[in-house]
Structure 1
């Protein structure tokens, strides 16, 4: 009895000593909790059943091909705070991108089920049409999507997003013409860093059309050859059934007064979206038709491919998810949060300047943490280098520029850890997963991707579940050529916003809030580079120049900024150009100013509401038009 007591006492003392001597980060090994997986989209389940049974029909009765595949993860529409994205001005009753010249020619997908490729790239082409005319290769996208099936078996917006986000495209039509054999090894002519899911709110869809151009959408078009739903004389369509969506097209405009009497089957009211199909100019009204606002799928899967950056924006991309967001994982708790992480190994001594991921629901918040020198299988170990929190009003794929870039050393292990908060769903972490007859090419290795319900430990290796990887990418820039512009604004009723970096937008949109102050600084490595700026302030006029992070504007005086000038200083100032543009009250986004030229307005009493600044190598092409960055009322 005494011997057992002494032995127990000894074990207790040893335990207490270990508790004191062993560091908490080593001692506190949390129990690993296996995440839950999001349920499959019912439309995808039905699609899989039709594929296996051989009953899938991808053509209309008159021979036109469709080709939409429902994605495995159903888009979560959620509740969008419309007040945060309401139109900046009164929307017109009718609008048509053809009238603005911001739409490319009608295409013909022929016998292929490639509507999704045409719709996705049409949105991207329309976005760029404001400044340049491009023709992207649908052939390259449909042959090199990376997903199962042939080019004839269809796709969707998530597949197009994955192809673009991993930098496989877009490539030019001339380098890979339509209806030619598969080509590989072609380089993209742009890097796509953002694809936004537009909610089913007519005002938001309309504003996105005005701001960025054509929008991808999905509908049920199996009845386009049925006189019950399609009026060939008016090129109008209204479907009120419950069949799954099966075709992708682009929205190019709207007409609120389009008569309900123009449809074969009368909808509840007037109004129609103007749609461009991909069945050639001989179909419909020159390739276009009207879709009733009251159609079952009006506003379904609306997606904005409204982003394109130069291919030298980053020197390296780190990723484990070439097939993009296919599923989601999380934990069944009440706070609708979960942690996702990837551990990468630096290929070069660069600066980590940005990360990307997916927002699964409107209002998703991403709390980002970067760790270096991490231990195997422990993303939150090592040294915490920076933290940053971003909130996304709408779902989609986003790239976040880091306010504080992190220097990496070749061979160093680093981790990008994100706490996802997704209102409306507990499966918060976007993942790439393997599904038969869809994404069988997905693969995962142990030690790459993880989830956790705490973020401090208990990391679950997602390779164990359907060869899954977390959808987080990391982007670096070469250290010997790293130069960045960092800025933030003081906004009426909001205060100081988070720092933005080289192309980020600081300020607000559609909230009628004035900018009251601004701070700008450079963040560079290997350059003698500074920055100066002055602002035109309500009742005060042009102020003196401020520099390198000091505030220009006023504090506590409720005075609006109306215009700004920015210039570079230092021995290496001649190596760069600084471009900037402002969003002005009653004007909207103005053209780009450069190197100490005025941007904004004077003499009108218009407030500045937002600003974007870009630092570029001297002589580089301007980010956009430079015709009218400034208006003055004499």
Structure 2
């Protein structure tokens, strides 16, 4: 079905079969839609903000006791080390490394079995280019703008972890490396280009020598004269030596030439947007870790909550992207032939961050005395860098560099230890993904916020009265709303989402019918998406709103409300700071609304009235998004059954993309399990156990709620049961299994066989449609 958007709507297309299911790890207290409000709230809280669930804790605590050391590589959850050369987009490599690990752990997969490899090139290019007409006609120009006109400026502009979650939250990426490989259009290697262009080789050699001279506080001529005096060679002889050395190194440690065409066209050969693509992984949470230091200015005391949070995220199977100052002068780093090249760092000075990496583990017992200057205490992060290795280099020399700790085979691994106490560490972030929108027909992300929060969040004033934010959307064709999202600016916040179908000529975002409401806790600041636990169909041509009410408890137990939006870097400020890019926000009337002091106000009017307070910084629309699929035409859907031979779990899905992705990862496809109705009054809830690594399915809202309270993650409605009870799905439980403990089957023979083997019969799980000839 071709869709003609009224104001914007380009489908995000699923282009690859490398998909896995992910889960929401920190979502305790998911409230049922329209749960009865508590008396304390019913009298003074608007209908859209009513919530009788449980508030988030006021303190970050570990879910379980933390071991003294852990390394994600021990569980085969870390992909190969890459080499970012010839560009300076370390932030993309660190972020993709974190994303790859998070994706692998989401469904019990491993790097060995999957070979997962995601694209840094696609992430870099579209993070640093603004929205175009083809993407969203109402927000043209929003996002990051580079000052440089060079075609490759995006790859050398640097970046922040927030760029990553900003793009991924739009429903874009991450994509497989094979779709957008880290190379130019002609796939020319640097050594091949140098041999064909000796003048470029000479110029690049001189540039490297100038950098080396500057690091020694010398001019190029001074450096060359000093080298001439110490070696007895003429300057010309020395330069020829350096040129030949650079060429030979490029043949050993190979990269693709920066002089190739690295641009990504707006559309592909089929006219499809190259931006609006995904491999099926959709960002669920972009978690901003707590401040690393209790005092950012002095950085003398570590924030215990930050340490706990990072370690907990690693234990949950998530890589942690980290920003710090990478010392390349040898002042703060250790290198020798035993441990490898640059195998640890402790920086005692407060320096600006220059590099982004991925933390994959920690060791509390790593001695403070191992560092060049003793650190204040023991302990170090195990860090995956993007400066290549010999252990993970390709057979033809790509990704190769003699860097990092040595392994037992004497190979450079590309990893190093970073002291807990390194004073340049300032920012950490993690990601979670799911594939519940991985429909072969794609999905739609309705949104107005494409600008990254380069300068953090703009927060409205705290209030003890309800403050809410809302976005209003309109769709031409019938649509099924599946998920909603927001960004929280602080830790330990609780958000109530409400969906309204608006009346004609509605005066505000709640002038209509309340059709869905749900609440959840968010442990960390950042981007958060939740799946609706009921079907919400948006009729053709209907305006609807998503309202978000965010609150937290202060030290006295008082509920505090506020709203927040992304804050960017103005063009003038970026020029003054000599930043490579500046931010543009596009805020039109009728898009975002703020509820404060008992009334709704258009967000564009609010921003105009507070322009002096904002001090010229661009502030975007509210980061409230709606994720939807086209309303189904068929009334039934086939449910696919798969089996994981490693974990013993049976898995069930209606998604062909999810099915094919799991098969690619080593799961066994067992055919169609049953046929389910597209919709009914009886949902079957899907849950995930982040500790056991398996799924559970139930018609019981009580069982679903109970499992969520025990730490299971609610993943929304998996499918629907047949009210006519046509075909029973028998449910069995294996009391001896730690994963894959439940099985569901339409076969009475399979049910009885498992019972005879010691499984416990648990009755009927749900019903499929009656089979027809």
TM-score interval for Structure 1 and Structure 2 normalised by the shorter chain = 0.5 to 0.7
CA distance in 2, matches of 1:175, 1:578: 42
2:425 matches 1:443: no
Partner of 1:148: 145
Show the 5 A alignment for 1:529-544. Answer: none
> Kindly tell me: are residues 452 and 482 of structure 1, through their superposed partners in 2, closer, same or farther at Cα, counting changes over 3 Å?
farther
8 Å CA contact retained: 1:532, 1:567? yes
> Kindly tell me: are residues 246 and 456 of structure 1, through their superposed partners in 2, closer, same or farther at Cα, counting changes over 3 Å?
same
2:288 matches 1:158: no
Show the 5 A alignment for 1:37-48. Answer: none
Within the candidate set 318, 325, 338, 1:213 is matched to 318
CA distance in 2, matches of 1:532, 1:470: 30
CA distance in 2, matches of 1:410, 1:264: 66
> Kindly tell me: are residues 170 and 468 of structure 1, through their superposed partners in 2, closer, same or farther at Cα, counting changes over 3 Å?
same
Partner of 2:566: 431
Partner of 2:75: 100
1:33-56 CA distance string (max 9 Å, x none): xxxxxxxxxxxxxxxxxxxxxxxx
CA deviation after TM superposition for structure 1 residue 173, in Å: 1.1
Partner of 1:411: 541
Within the candidate set 365, 387, 393, 2:517 is matched to 387
> Kindly tell me: are residues 154 and 342 of structure 1, through their superposed partners in 2, closer, same or farther at Cα, counting changes over 3 Å?
same
Partner of 2:414: 287
**Counterpart secondary structure, 2:432:** coil
Partner of 2:173: 169
CA deviation after TM superposition for structure 1 residue 403, in Å: 3.0
Within the candidate set 428, 452, 476, 2:628 is matched to 476
CA deviation after TM superposition for structure 1 residue 330, in Å: 4.0
1:43-89 CA distance string (max 9 Å, x none): xxxxxxxxxxxxxxxxxxxxxxxxxxxxxxxxxxx996133xx132x
1:150-185 CA distance string (max 9 Å, x none): 221111111111111112211121121114212243
CA deviation after TM superposition for structure 1 residue 272, in Å: 0.9
8 Å CA contact retained: 1:342, 1:379? yes
CA deviation after TM superposition for structure 1 residue 440, in Å: 3.5
8 Å CA contact retained: 1:530, 1:573? no
CA distance in 1, matches of 2:321, 2:705: 43
> Kindly tell me: are residues 161 and 266 of structure 1, through their superposed partners in 2, closer, same or farther at Cα, counting changes over 3 Å?
same
CA distance in 1, matches of 2:551, 2:356: 30
8 Å CA contact retained: 1:168, 1:188? yes
CA deviation after TM superposition for structure 1 residue 426, in Å: 7.6
CA distance in 2, matches of 1:396, 1:353: 20
CA distance in 1, matches of 2:322, 2:768: 35
Within the candidate set 228, 231, 236, 2:334 is matched to 231
Show the 5 A alignment for 1:430-579. Answer: 430-431=565-566, 435-436=570-571, 437=574, 438-454=581-597, 456-461=599-604, 464=608, 466=618, 468-480=620-632, 526=679, 548-549=699-700, 570=722
Partner of 2:101: 126
> Kindly tell me: are residues 172 and 567 of structure 1, through their superposed partners in 2, closer, same or farther at Cα, counting changes over 3 Å?
closer
8 Å CA contact retained: 2:458, 2:619? no
> Which has the larger displacement, 522-531 or 116-125?
522-531
> Kindly tell me: are residues 392 and 529 of structure 1, through their superposed partners in 2, closer, same or farther at Cα, counting changes over 3 Å?
closer
CA deviation after TM superposition for structure 1 residue 239, in Å: 1.1
CA distance in 1, matches of 2:519, 2:685: 28
**TM-score normalised by L of structure 2:** 0.53
Partner of 2:282: 191
CA distance in 1, matches of 2:569, 2:726: 51
CA distance in 2, matches of 1:580, 1:117: 45
1:2-41 CA distance string (max 9 Å, x none): xxxxxxxxxxxxxxxxxxxxxxxxxxxxxxxxxxxxxxxx
2:438 matches 1:312: yes
2:231 matches 1:82: no
8 Å CA contact retained: 1:188, 1:311? no
8 Å CA contact retained: 1:215, 1:302? yes
- Tell me the C-alpha RMSD between the 2 structures: 4.4
CA distance in 1, matches of 2:57, 2:367: 30
Partner of 2:200: none
**TM-score normalised by L of structure 1:** 0.64
CA deviation after TM superposition for structure 1 residue 376, in Å: 5.5
CA deviation after TM superposition for structure 1 residue 400, in Å: 1.6
Partner of 2:498: 369
Show the 5 A alignment for 1:199-278. Answer: 199=290, 200=292, 201-221=306-326, 224-233=327-336, 234=339, 235-278=343-386
CA deviation after TM superposition for structure 1 residue 591, in Å: 4.0
Partner of 1:35: none
Show the 5 A alignment for 1:346-357. Answer: 346-357=475-486
> Kindly tell me: are residues 123 and 532 of structure 1, through their superposed partners in 2, closer, same or farther at Cα, counting changes over 3 Å?
closer
Within the candidate set 584, 595, 606, 2:744 is matched to 595
CA distance in 1, matches of 2:335, 2:541: 63
Within the candidate set 111, 119, 144, 2:86 is matched to 111
2:422 matches 1:302: no
CA deviation after TM superposition for structure 1 residue 405, in Å: 3.5
CA deviation after TM superposition for structure 1 residue 121, in Å: 0.8
8 Å CA contact retained: 1:117, 1:142? yes
CA distance in 2, matches of 1:351, 1:459: 26
The structure carrying a bigger helix percent of its residues is: 2
CA distance in 1, matches of 2:171, 2:590: 24
Show the 5 A alignment for 1:585-624. Answer: 590-591=739-740, 593-595=742-744
CA distance in 2, matches of 1:353, 1:455: 30
CA deviation after TM superposition for structure 1 residue 407, in Å: 2.4
Partner of 2:210: none
> Kindly tell me: are residues 328 and 338 of structure 1, through their superposed partners in 2, closer, same or farther at Cα, counting changes over 3 Å?
farther
State the aligned residue count: 464
> Which has the larger displacement, 263-272 or 125-134?
125-134
CA deviation after TM superposition for structure 1 residue 527, in Å: 5.4
CA deviation after TM superposition for structure 1 residue 229, in Å: 1.0
Mind listing any 5+ residue stretches in structure 2 that lack a counterpart? Answer: 1-55, 130-143, 147-152, 185-261, 267-272, 293-305, 390-401, 406-412, 555-559, 575-580, 612-617, 638-653, 656-674, 687-696, 713-717, 756-764
CA deviation after TM superposition for structure 1 residue 525, in Å: 5.1
CA distance in 2, matches of 1:616, 1:429: 44
CA deviation after TM superposition for structure 1 residue 99, in Å: 2.3
> Kindly tell me: are residues 318 and 580 of structure 1, through their superposed partners in 2, closer, same or farther at Cα, counting changes over 3 Å?
farther
> Which has the larger displacement, 140-149 or 324-333?
324-333
8 Å CA contact retained: 1:483, 1:615? no
> Kindly tell me: are residues 93 and 527 of structure 1, through their superposed partners in 2, closer, same or farther at Cα, counting changes over 3 Å?
same
CA distance in 1, matches of 2:486, 2:457: 12
> Kindly tell me: are residues 455 and 355 of structure 1, through their superposed partners in 2, closer, same or farther at Cα, counting changes over 3 Å?
farther
Partner of 2:121: 139
